Structure 1
Amino acid sequence: MKKLFLILGILIAQCTINMAQVPTLLPDYPITKGVSAPFAGFIRNWLIVGGGCNFPTIPAAEGGEKAYYNQCYALDIQAASPHWTKISDLPYPVAYGCSVETPQGLVCIGGMNADSCLTSVFRIQKDSFGDFLLHQLPSLPETIDNASATMLNECIYITGGNQQLRENALYKLDLQTCDKWQKLSSFPGPQRVQPILVNDGNKLYLIGGFQAPSDSSSSILSHDILCYTPQNDQWEYAFPIPYGNNKEKRCMAGGSGVQTGTQLILTGGVNYRIFKNALDGKAGKDYLTHAPSWYKFNDDILFYDFTHKTWTTKVNISGMARAGGILLYREGCLYMICGEIKPGIRTPKITVYPLKKEE
């Protein structure tokens, strides 16, 4: 298997990946009005989406109450006429957790709902009869929500977000033993809520995120990338996130990212200036009433080449200007799953972009 991955990595490295021009759409997600911050990932050819939250009746701008969901659905992307199938409900309503694709199934970690923040971890898996089942895994040592997670060398890593112990801890679960979560070195600097965590096959990269304001200081939006080396359990500064087309800083909070054999791919998330003003109470009473375009969610896609250490940006990509959406990569395609199109307003759209390779 490792040899196969190496061969695929070499093939990808010989190509430049560029966006195809026209996206396709899968059937809308079944929950009316869509959701933000669900669990999402692939189990073989099945796209799994579960949980998430929205404002189902009264909009957020009018003081509506946020609803959390425990429904879970699956869609066979290889079917002639794909349609969503309801599978087993999640153990509880949940959003703002982390989901990680593994060979055994989709691991869902932490999150929160209207009642509490969560430590629970479970795996959605498909048995030999074709049924989707839930398998409990070791719980987190503390509640964590709005974090990010990735898998490297058969281990799941999670960090960032709101941590119960108010640290910037990094935790690891070895999937070979599934014994317990191991606490590793905390990342330096401010808190990073809603960051992106990916890897290049050797190291972890923690991207963006924000720290809410306190009584003594304004909010901090991180517009850089930290790097973690598992071999020595150390964090270091890696490089900045590219500025936007308007030369504004970019924090990627609420954005999403994936890695391929040789590239890191980032998209979505909020506008640095507009979001910081909102966090610091400077956005005005009409903040939630504007059209989606006013909020300037990032609608471009950033490609970082691990080998050449260069960035490529594809701008004005339809369907990517979302916060709390989940970006997935499978067999040469990018999938953007649900998310917000503006604060408080979700979408049920599943946007699919084929990536074309140019010699």
Structure 2
Amino acid sequence: MKKQLLIWGILVLQYTVILAQSTPSYPQQLPDYPVAQGVSAPFAGFINDWLVVGGGCNFPGKPAAEGGKKVFYNQCYALNLQSASPRWISLSDFPYPVAYGCSVETPQGLVCIGGANADSCLTNVFCIQLVDSSQRFAVKQLPSLPEAIDNAAATLLNGAIYLTGGNQQHQQNALYKLDLKQGTAWQKLSSYPGPQRVQPILLHDGHKLYLIGGYQAPAKASESILSHDILCYLPETNTWKYEADIPAEANGEKRCMAGGSGTQTSTHLILTGGVNYTIFKKALDGKAGKDYMTHAPSWYQFNDDILYFDFTSQKWTVDPQVSGMARAGGILLQHQHCLYMVCGEIKPGIRTPKITVYPLK
């Protein structure tokens, strides 16, 4: 009997070791972002194993619900995931405070594009680069945008950055491209059709772009328009077409993904976060009531599920109720088989410094 127990114990130990080796490890918890109360709409991305986050905005004094003033930041920080005890280090400040821009991970570094602050919308473009392994970073200026743009979306496809959506200075739906190897200026391409798309998501499948969600603010004679579909751009023909609808909420309600974030793998688009279609539309159209800013975070029903679109089979799957994903203005990143949701707001006016880590299935 003792011999059987010993053999069983050895088998259990061997199985445990095999399971540990086959299951990818990931950091269960990262230290909070060092700006008190957290920020929304920062620049964020990975440079090798460094998570770099900078800029963003919040309401550090009086809450937004009480008429507080929004503050924009120029601080930038980095955290090395390979450190035995990861901690944030301070990098050089940006030359100006900024939020609501686009950040794109590239082989050259983290490219930060446009945005806005309390004074103006911006055309500036720069790249944060890791100089060597001794925690030294540098900033390289890149060609400025041809117009000021904020609340847009951008992605890297075949060595070029594509940017579209958002509030564009010339009130258009332009698509811009910057070739990182040869380009000395942004190239204007075909504009996307339909209403304006502020705070959309822009991803790709290695061949074409996917413009997801976004909203158009109300005008004097019309209500807001929340886009609950996906447009597709084909670089070979410089044309746009309708691709699909974004999957509805669990209760059948439309989903717009405004303020959400996304990333992609070699086979899937991954989407999460963003506002609730009905609640947000009422607020945009001035129909939400005077107490709109005063509710608990759960009342706003920010999306807390993760949507996976397999672009090889054209099928959607959903991970429901993922803790830490219900944010607007957060940045979803992917690194070493994990998803990272960086900061964002948990309700209108209230930010979080939390970095949520979720294993990529």
1:23, distance to aligned residue in structure 2 (A): 8.2
User: Does residue 332 of structure 1 match 2:337?
Assistant: yes
CA deviation vs aligned residue, 1:121-166 (integer Å, no higher than 9, x gap): 0000011354111100000000000000000000000000000000
Q: Distance in 1 between matches of 2:360 and 2:153?
A: 24
The 2-side partners of 1:300 and 1:336 are apart by 12
- Asked if residue 161 in structure 1 is aligned to residue 158 in structure 2, the reply is no
Secondary structure in structure 1 of the residue aligned to 2:279: helix
Gaps of 5+ in 2: 1-23
Q: Given that residues 51 and 72 in structure 1 are in contact (C-alpha distance below 8 angstroms), is that contact kept between their aligned partners in structure 2?
A: yes
The DSSP-based 3-state class of the residue aligned with 2:248 is: coil
Percent same amino acid at aligned positions? 72
TM score, norm. by length of structure 1: 0.92
CA distance in structure 1 between the partners assigned to 2:350 and 2:305 by the alignment: 20
Question: For each residue in 1:61-80, what CA deviation from the matched residue of structure 2 results, as whole angstroms up to 9, or x when unmatched?
Answer: 00000000000000001110
Q: Kindly tell me the number of residue pairs found equivalent between the two proteins.
A: 336
2:257 is matched with which residue: 252, 258, 276?
Answer: 252
What is the aligned partner in structure 2 of residue 38 from structure 1? 42
Worse-matched range after superposition: 197-206 or 176-185: 176-185
User: Is 1:308 matched up with 2:313?
Assistant: yes
Letter in 2 for 1:105: G
Residue equivalent to 1:323 = 328
Unpaired runs of 5+ in structure 1? 1-19
Aligned to 1:192: 197
Contact 1:336 1:352 in 2 (8 A): yes
* Greater CA drift, 128-137 or 176-185: 128-137
The residue type equivalent to 2:81 in the other structure is I
Question: Is 1:86 matched up with 2:90?
Answer: yes
Check whether the contact 1:34–1:349 (CA below 8 A) recurs between aligned residues: yes
Partner of 1:151: 156
Q: Residues 156-202 of structure 1, C-alpha deviation per residue, up to 9 Å, x if partnerless?
A: 00000000000000000000123100000000000000000000000
* CA-CA distance at 1:25 after TM superposition: 2.1
Report the AA paired with residue 108 of structure 1.
Answer: C
Calculate the TM-score normalised by the size of structure 2.
0.92
Pick aligned residue for 1:273 from 273, 278, 283: 278
Contact 1:137 1:178 in 2 (8 A): no
Aligned mates of 2:27, 2:193 — CA distance in 1: 39
* Amino acid aligned to 1:215: K
1:224 deviates by 0.1
CA distance in 2, matches of 1:42, 1:90: 18
The aligned counterpart of 1:11 is: none
The reply on whether 1:75 has 2:79 as its aligned counterpart is yes
Which residue number in structure 1 is paired with residue 21 of structure 2? Answer: none
Change (3 A) 1:297 1:23: farther
Q: Deviations over 1:209-235 (max 9, x none)?
A: 000000010000000000000001000
User: Separation in 2 of the partners of 1:273 and 1:33?
Assistant: 28
Whose RCO is larger (CA < 8 A, sep 6+)? 1
Q: Deviations over 1:35-78 (max 9, x none)?
A: 00000000000000000000001000000000000000000011
- Structure 1 residue identity aligned to 2:145: L
SS in 1 for 2:360: strand
Give 2:181's aligned residue: 176
Cα contact 1:23–1:354 (8 A) shared by 2? no
Structure 1 residue 246, shift from structure 2 partner: 1.1
Distance 2:36 2:129 in 1: 26
- Select the structure of larger CA radius of gyration: 2
Structure 2 counterpart of 1:50, from 51, 54, 61:
54
